């Protein structure tokens, strides 16, 4: 039987958690008075844009409870919002926990918490309980909204609290948020994934696909715009599956059309569409839009139809090529980027050649290339023919160098154009420059000061430096 999911925010649950925030605020105030100083908290994000958005929610709650937010992990409360898509993200967390333990020994007030995708795995919980007993609180992706409640429990008890749910039907938004950027924001339009690619752990740790009501999304974006946001990134594992479980079905192109009407909003991005769900209605809505950014991230994963089948991706090499070349023709100024996995079980040099062929034909504007990582519990993990590391290394380098060459060629094609650039901040290496992004996501640096941050300005693309431009305002 198909589970019934909520599509609207649960206002009763929001009220409950707000009450716990108030309780948490009292606890923090008391401790702070005893210590004779303000308490600090640090939220560290691993992984994707979804996690980044969740971290903004967690930071908002901590700030409301009276913590001073900091980037220093030597603080009174440290929360790791983890990722488990590839094993190296997990290893990084274990490594960093060791350092936190040393800090904790010197700070009696210090509390350590873990949440996010990694904590949804049983093996991780066992390891934390056995080898990292100094951790105070562990919670998962489905009960992230219950953080205020769990925080209060943690402060009242000395034992490690572990609270992981298998799934949830609830959507709880509208709790306090601290945004990293005043002028741009992620917006969750859906949660979870139903695709079950055989290498991917996401469907197991993020649960089944659930969409939010369009009215709630629109309302959130309108409020963000009132608050100074110019660009939104619509977030979901498969944004073009949006709306399937809604009582009144809305498609992703329809949602985009509605968001386009929001006055004051200037840019709309989305992440990530699934290739075989990218229909002509998407192309139409992008063609007719003045706000949707000229960037589509379309994960290829592999260029070999044989491997795609084993990956349970629902398209062939030819179907992907047809779509990508159609996008190039219909939306010529749109940047196409992708994800590629190298070393999937059973992959051979012939399969890699197919992937290289797709890269050559599509000329991606950029690509993230990943070495296949075996994730316990996924079908691919028990496939017999895992690939030798030595082969993977050679293939990976070959894919990477072709991808980089294409990215450079595509970037160079923009030479001498004038582009709208949303200024994101002061350049990290040269304070006389500011850094911003074009609609197609290309980075541009040009002379300017902090008064430009958050503005969209016209910049001439004077000097191509590989993957980015140096320019000046025009
Ligand atoms: N190994 C390597 N890369 C993976 N990805 C997802 N799962 C794995 C895995 N087990 C990559 C895919 C996906 C991106 C977010 O991460 O390319 O598109
Ligand atoms: Fe993972 Fe595939 Fe779902 Fe993307 S579509 S989250 S790769 S299962």
- What digits encode the pLDDT tens for the residues 329-344? 999 999 999 999 999 9
Could you list the residue range(s) of the whole structural domain that residue 129 is in? 11-163
Nearest ligand 2 atom to the CA of 238 is 5
How far, in Å, is the centroid of ligand 2 from the Cα of 299?
10
Q: Is residue 94 part of a domain?
A: yes
How far, in Å, is the centroid of ligand 1 from the Cα of 85?
6
Q: Is 50 helix (H, G, I), strand (E, B) or coil?
A: helix
How far, in Å, is the centroid of ligand 2 from the Cα of 273?
10
Q: Is residue 3 part of a domain?
A: no
C-alpha span between 409 and 363 (Å, rounded): 9
Q: Is residue 300 part of a domain?
A: yes
Q: Is residue 181 part of a domain?
A: no
Residues with C-beta less than 6 Å from any ligand 2 atom = 193, 195-197, 200, 202-203, 237-238, 274
**Which of 238, 240, 372 is the best mutation target for the ligand 2 pocket, counting ligand atoms within 8 Å of the beta carbon and taking the most?**
238
Nearest CA residue ID for atom 16, ligand 1:
85
C-alpha span between 461 and 156 (Å, rounded): 57
How far, in Å, is the centroid of ligand 1 from the Cα of 30?
45
How far, in Å, is the centroid of ligand 2 from the Cα of 411?
28
C-alpha span between 71 and 286 (Å, rounded): 38
C-alpha span between 153 and 159 (Å, rounded): 10
**Which of 200, 207, 314, 315 is the best mutation target for the ligand 2 pocket, counting ligand atoms within 8 Å of the beta carbon and taking the most?**
200
- What digits encode the pLDDT tens for the residues 111-162? 999 999 999 999 999 999 999 999 999 999 999 999 999 999 999 988 999 9
The last residue of one of the domains, among 292, 326, 354, is 292
Q: Is residue 171 part of a domain?
A: no
Q: Is residue 169 part of a domain?
A: no
How far, in Å, is the centroid of ligand 2 from the Cα of 179?
27
The domain total for the chain is 4
What's 303's domain CATH number?
3.30.750.200
- What digits encode the pLDDT tens for the residues 26-80? 999 999 999 999 999 999 999 999 999 999 999 999 999 999 999 999 999 999 9
- 452 & 373 share domain: no
How far, in Å, is the centroid of ligand 1 from the Cα of 371?
8
How far, in Å, is the centroid of ligand 2 from the Cα of 339?
11
The reported pLDDT for the residue numbered 2 is 46
CA terminus-to-terminus distance, the chain: 60
The last residue of one of the domains, among 223, 257, 292, is 292
- 51 & 156 share domain: yes
Say if pTM beats, i.e. exceeds, 0.85. Answer: yes
The reported pLDDT for the residue numbered 170 is 77
- 33 & 152 share domain: yes
**Which of 195, 197, 199, 312 is the best mutation target for the ligand 1 pocket, counting ligand atoms within 8 Å of the beta carbon and taking the most?**
199
Asked whether 447 and 460 are in contact (CB, 8 A), the reply is no
Radius of gyration of the chain (CA): 23
Q: Is residue 345 part of a domain?
A: yes
**Which of 206, 210, 237, 315 is the best mutation target for the ligand 2 pocket, counting ligand atoms within 8 Å of the beta carbon and taking the most?**
237
206 lines ligand 1 (CB under 6 A): no
396 lines ligand 1 (CB under 6 A): no
The reported pLDDT for the residue numbered 5 is 64
The last residue of one of the domains, among 268, 292, 316, is 292
| Residue 246, phi then psi, degrees to nearest 5 | -75, 150
- Rounded to whole angstroms, what are the CA distances from 61 to 67, 80, 178, 308? 9, 15, 8, 42
- 258 & 280 share domain: yes
Residues of the chain falling short of pLDDT 70 = 1-5
Asked whether 258 and 270 are in contact (CB, 8 A), the reply is no
User: Number of helices (H) and strands (E), helices first, in the chain?
Assistant: 13, 19
Q: Is residue 174 part of a domain?
A: no
What's 227's domain CATH number?
3.30.750.210
Q: Kindly give, in sequence order, each residue whose CB lies less than 8 Å from that of residue 414, ignoring residues fewer than 6 positions away.
A: 438, 442, 461, 464, 469
- 288 & 301 share domain: no
- 324 & 435 share domain: no
């Amino acid at each position: 039987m198909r589970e019934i999911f909520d599509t609207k925010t649960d206002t009763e649950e929001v009220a409950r958690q707000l009450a716990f925030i108030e309780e948490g605020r009292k606890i923090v105030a008391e401790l702070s008075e005893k210590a004779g100083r303000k308490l600090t908290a640090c939220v560290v994000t691993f992984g994707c844009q979804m996690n980044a958005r969740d971290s903004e929610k967690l930071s908002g709650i901590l700030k409301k409870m009276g913590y001073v937010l900091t980037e220093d992990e030597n603080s009174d409360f440290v929360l790791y919002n983890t990722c488990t898509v590839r094993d190296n993200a997990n290893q990084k967390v274990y490594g960093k926990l060791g350092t936190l333990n040393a800090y904790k020994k010197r700070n009696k007030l210090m509390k350590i918490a873990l949440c996010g995708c990694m904590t949804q795995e049983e093996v991780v919980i066992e390891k934390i309980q056995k080898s990292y007993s100094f951790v105070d609180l562990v919670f998962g992706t489905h009960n992230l909204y219950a953080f205020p409640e769990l925080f209060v429990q943690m402060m009242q008890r000395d034992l490690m609290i572990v609270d992981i749910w298998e799934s949830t039907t609830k959507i709880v938004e509208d709790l306090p948020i601290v945004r990293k950027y005043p002028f741009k924001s992620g917006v969750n339009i859906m949660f979870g994934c139903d695709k079950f690619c055989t290498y991917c752990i996401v469907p197991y740790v993020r649960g089944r696909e659930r969409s939010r009501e369009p009215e709630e999304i629109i309302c959130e974006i309108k409020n963000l715009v009132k608050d100074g946001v110019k660009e939104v990134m619509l977030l979901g594992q498969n944004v073009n599956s949006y709306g399937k479980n809604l009582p009144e079905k809305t498609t992703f192109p329809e949602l985009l059309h509605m968001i386009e009407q929001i006055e004051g909003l200037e840019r709309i991005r989305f992440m990530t569409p699934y290739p075989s769900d990218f229909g002509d209605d998407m192309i139409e809505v992008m063609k007719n839009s003045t706000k949707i950014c000229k960037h589509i991230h379309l994960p290829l994963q592999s260029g070999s139809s044989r491997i795609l089948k084993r990956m349970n991706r629902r398209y062939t090499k030819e179907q992907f090529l047809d779509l990508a070349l159609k996008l190039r023709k219909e939306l010529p100024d749109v940047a196409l980027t992708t994800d590629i996995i190298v070393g999937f079980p059973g992959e051979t040099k012939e399969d890699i050649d197919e992937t290289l062929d797709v890269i050559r034909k599509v000329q991606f504007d950029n690509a993230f290339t990943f070495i296949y990582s075996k994730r316990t519990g996924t079908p691919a993990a028990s496939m017999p023919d895992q690939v030798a590391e030595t082969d993977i290394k050679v293939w990976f380098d070959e894919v990477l160098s072709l991808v980089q060459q294409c990215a450079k060629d595509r970037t160079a094609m923009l030479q001498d154009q004038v582009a709208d650039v949303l200024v994101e901040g002061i350049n990290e290496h040269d304070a006389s420059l500011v850094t911003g992004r074009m609609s197609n996501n290309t980075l541009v640096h040009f002379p300017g000061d902090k008064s430009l941050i958050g503005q969209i300005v016209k910049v001439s693309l004077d000097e191509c430096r590989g993957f980015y431009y140096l320019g000046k305002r025009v």
